[in-house]
Structure 1
Amino acid sequence: MKNYLKVIIIITFLICILVISIIYNQNQKEQERINEREKLLMEYEGSAYQLHLQIQTDEYDETSNPNDIVLVPTESTESLLKRWKAVSEIFTEIDYPEDTISQGDWLNVQHKLESNRFEMRNASLEIATEMSGESPRSSESIANYIYKGSVYDDTFREFLEENGIEGPDQRRLEQ
């Protein structure tokens, strides 16, 4: 009888361990799904912010599926793309993904823009060195220009004007 009781206790113990293990694995998988979903939501938000896109969540609000989020280009998006394309035509190492843009695959467009950061930095340094002959003050001129349309440096402004990307700066001409 004692052996029978030991067997029952061992079997019960093993079943408990099995149940706990199954529950733990299910919780782990659910947590992974939640993490993936949150990561995708952050990716949509980041792309919308960086590319000045509008986020439409009508369908997402009903389904809670991040793939139902729609990113829509705005006028600011179009301006950013125009600046990016103009710079990429001069610096061919800066990739402009026309096909990805025309497909509206905004997450991949954002990835491509970010993957160009090194090339943008090198081109900015090249412009500053060639045009002024001095050490550059900023290695972010091209990135600032593409992302924000900002031109903080006269040397970079001259480069843009000489290459027909921007019109002449009236403030500089009036001095």
Structure 2
Amino acid sequence: MNRKRLILLAIVVVLAICISIAFHSWNKAQQEKETANRELRNEYGYAAGSLHLDVDTSQYDQTGDPHDIELTPTDLTYGLVQRWEAIAGAIPIIDYPEEAVTEEDWLNVYNTYAKNLFKMEDASEEITKGEEDETANSMVIYDYVSNGSVYSD
């Protein structure tokens, strides 16, 4: 009788450990999914702000899936894209995602834009080299692409 209880106890312990491991794995997967969704929602927000996009979250509000967030270009978006394309044509180190713009893949466009910020700064510094206040103009290209104007005293 003792042996049967010992075997039963061992089985219960093994099952409890297996259930605990399964729950831990499921919980970890859920946390990773939530983190990925939060990062994607943030990326949509950054893209909308940087590229002057309108955001429609009506479908996302129903599903909770960040892939259901819609980014729609505005006139400001098209102006930014045109200026960016012109600058990229004149300054070869600045990349322009022509295919992503054509396909209106705004997250890809935003990622390329974000990667270009340092290149725009480097090109701006090169252009303004020798001026009396170089630091004030270190983002002249970014200002032009983003806003369509350049601040100067």
By the TM > 0.5 criterion, same fold? Answer: yes
Equivalence for 1:102: 102
Equivalence for 2:142: 143
Equivalence for 1:168: none
Equivalence for 2:30: 30
- SS of 1:116 mapped into structure 2: helix
What letter corresponds to residue 15 of structure 1 in structure 2?
Answer: L
The alignment's C-alpha RMSD in Å is 1.7
Which one has a bigger Cα radius of gyration?
1
CA distance in 2, matches of 1:135, 1:43: 34
Which one has more relative contact order, counting CA pairs under 8 Å at least 6 apart?
Answer: 2
Q: Residues 83 and 145 of structure 1 are in contact (CA less than 8 Å); yes or no, is this contact kept in structure 2?
A: yes
CA deviations over 1:76-119 (Å, ceiling 9, x no partner): 11121122122112102111112110100000000001111221
Aligned residues: 152
Equivalence for 2:89: 89
| Structure 1 residues 103-118: aligned runs within 5 Å | 103-118=103-118
CA distance in 2, matches of 1:77, 1:60: 22
What letter corresponds to residue 141 of structure 2 in structure 1?
Answer: I
Q: Offset of 1:135 from its aligned partner? A: 6.4
Q: Residues 129 and 135 of structure 1 are in contact (CA less than 8 Å); yes or no, is this contact kept in structure 2?
A: no
Equivalence for 1:123: 123
Does 2:2 match 1:2?
yes
CA deviations over 1:100-153 (Å, ceiling 9, x no partner): 1010000000000111122111110111016x3x56223211112222334123
Q: Residues 120 and 140 of structure 1 are in contact (CA less than 8 Å); yes or no, is this contact kept in structure 2?
A: yes
CA distance in 1, matches of 2:11, 2:140: 70
**Gapped regions of structure 1 (runs ≥ 5):** 155-175
Give the % identical residues.
Answer: 36
CA distance in 2, matches of 1:59, 1:19: 36
Equivalence for 2:60: 60
- SS of 1:55 mapped into structure 2: strand
- Compare 112-121 and 45-54 and name the one that shifted more: 112-121
Equivalence for 1:166: none
